[in-house]
Amino acid sequence: MSAPDEHPRTLLDVLRRTATCRPGGGVRVFRGGREVEHVTYAELLEQAGRIAGGLLQRLEAARRERVALVFPNSGEPLRAFFGTIAAGAVPVPLPPPLRFSSRERYGERIQRALLRSRVGCLLTTEKLLPILRALVAQLGLRAPVLSLADLGQGRPSWASVAPDDPVLVQYTSGSTASPRGVVLTHRQLVANLRAIHQGLAMREEDVSASWLPLFHDMGLIGCFLGALYGAADQLLEPPEDFVRDPLTWLRVMSSYGATLATAPNWAYSQCARRVGPEAARTLDLSRLRVALNGAEMVDVATTRAFTERFGVAGFRAEAMLPVYGLAEAGLAVAFSRRGLGVKSVRVRRRALGEGVVEPAEPDEVGAREVVSVGRPVEGLEIALRGSDGEPVSEGRVGEILIRGASVMAGYDQDSIATRAAFHRGWLRTGDLGFRLDGELYVTGRRKDVIIVRGENLYAHDVEALTAGVPGVWARQAMAVGLPGDGTEGLVVFAETRLRDPNWLGVVARSIAEAVAGTLGIAPLDVVLLGPGKLPRTTSGKLERYKGPELYARLARGAPSRLSGRLNCSVA
């Protein structure tokens, strides 16, 4: 193993440097608000070498071999991640099975990633071994499924890795139809970590708090690797703890003096809605200097509600930091300026829909408040292009394109998707936005993506799952996102010929189960329509943009039909 590098060029260099300068620093893991594990950076370095040695004994050719990592949030995925890299292999983080998901639906969720990336080995927990071994056998894969305990205490081994070697395959979605694995090299990922470090002005005394899953780019790169690069301590809890009770995350931050927090807009909304004033007064969030808000559209009302609720705990409005990023860029693309809080502009909604930014008066009806996500991080450029591919001027809406040091090498084993993603050397994000005074404002997405709690759902994938449910007429379905509660709510429309209320209830619940069990997000509502009632163009294409209007019209016309979680009547 080489000496630590002051200017790391690979992720192994980053780990060596941090383990040397802050050997006692590391990651504290929590369950139910109680600390259950502490992994120091020095231990992580030592264990990575031993895991690599054990892995090399099991793999015939480890170099650039894809190794799937299937773990819940704990110290194990951290060890497995660096052990895989130390062996010269490439980690492919994938979600573990959900508690309410069947094995069949879980298999559908990850099988394309396993097959697409030609995974040669799976690492997981002792508890998940039987499930994953059965899945691998069902798929006809010859890849071994191992736990870290299976690897034993191998002789420490450290592969020779180069900056342009692949270091990670990060899947952009848990969808079943077309998951895409973003291939990142050491050079690209380290460049993005350096940009995050600079954008946050990180220091060793920082303490980062996260509940984001480690198979998600924001949890793995933005939180774990970002804090590791900055040699900062970390507080990690499982996402199910946060979903069950957001107060657990806030209490951990309060008790351990967190200075950095990272979450999607939805999470801040949940905190403001579900934590009461009395509980807020028991917290101390005065040391929180940056609260990153990203992964989905930032809602001004949510940030204000969070600030108002937790001002009594010492939270400062200027700590909220809207950011913009995507896996194809490593993660970070644009950061707001620290210490200024949320900056927004009110614009006329109708004009914005036509691609023009027109300022609106404070009390003007039909206005929309759009949040600035700041300027590009170090090493990246942003361009806005119209539908003709030509640049648009400031104050006009265009598609956001990026290029620079951390932009992906391409999608794993998918040359067609890779070529389609780039335009004259620029990566097309599919997101829309505009510039004012040099700052970027994100307004929406060109592609049909619904973001719920920071998770990207492709409408086509939701519709494909819905179409397979018995009772759905002619496989006709449509998925849309409705804004509300700081995030988007997923609404699924499906056509049916059924009329019996009992059978309608079965169909609606089956649709919700199919979507939630496979994609991990339960629909806000399932609406059953008669045949031919979905909005379409004259050529037969779905008009998804009409979905929110249709839903509102049905709610106004028949409120009893839409009063429950699942609509079991036919509109």
Place of tokens 């450290």: 158
| pLDDT 10s digits, 334-365 | 999 999 999 999 998 778 877 899 999 888 87
pTM comes to: 0.83
* pLDDT band per the 50, 70, 90 thresholds, residue 3: very low
- What number is the average pLDDT over the span 458-482? 87
**CA count, 13 A, side-chain hemisphere, 568:** 13
**Rounded Cα distance, 18 and 26, in Å:** 9
Q: What residue segments make up the domains of the chain, in order of their start? A: 11-21+39-189, 245-445, 449-562
Residue 322 DSSP code: E
CB 88 within 8 Å of CB 158: no
DSSP output for 529-542: E-TT-S-B-TTS-B
Closest CA to 295 of 485, 488, 446, 110: 488
Place of tokens 């895991």: 51
The CATH topology of domain 245-445 is: Rossmann fold (3.40.50)
pLDDT of residue 366 exceeding 50, the answer is yes
* pLDDT band per the 50, 70, 90 thresholds, residue 452: confident
* pLDDT band per the 50, 70, 90 thresholds, residue 177: very low
CB 359 within 8 Å of CB 346: yes
Q: Do domains 11-21+39-189 and 245-445 have the same CATH topology?
A: yes
* pLDDT band per the 50, 70, 90 thresholds, residue 8: very high
* pLDDT band per the 50, 70, 90 thresholds, residue 512: very high
**Rounded Cα distance, 384 and 394, in Å:** 9
Beta strands of 194-352 (E only): which ranges? 207-210, 233-236, 260-263, 290-293, 320-325, 332-335, 344-348
**Looking at domain 449-562, which of 3.20.20.70, 2.40.50.100, 3.30.300.30, 3.20.20.10 is its CATH number?**
3.30.300.30
pLDDT at 537: 57
Residue 540: what are its φ and ψ, rounded to 5°?
95, 0
**Distances from the Cα of 478 to the Cα of 127, 205, 430, 452, 519, angstroms:** 37, 49, 20, 16, 16
pLDDT of residue 397 exceeding 60, the answer is yes
**Looking at domain 11-21+39-189, which of 3.40.50.300, 3.50.50.60, 3.40.50.12780, 2.40.110.10 is its CATH number?**
3.40.50.12780
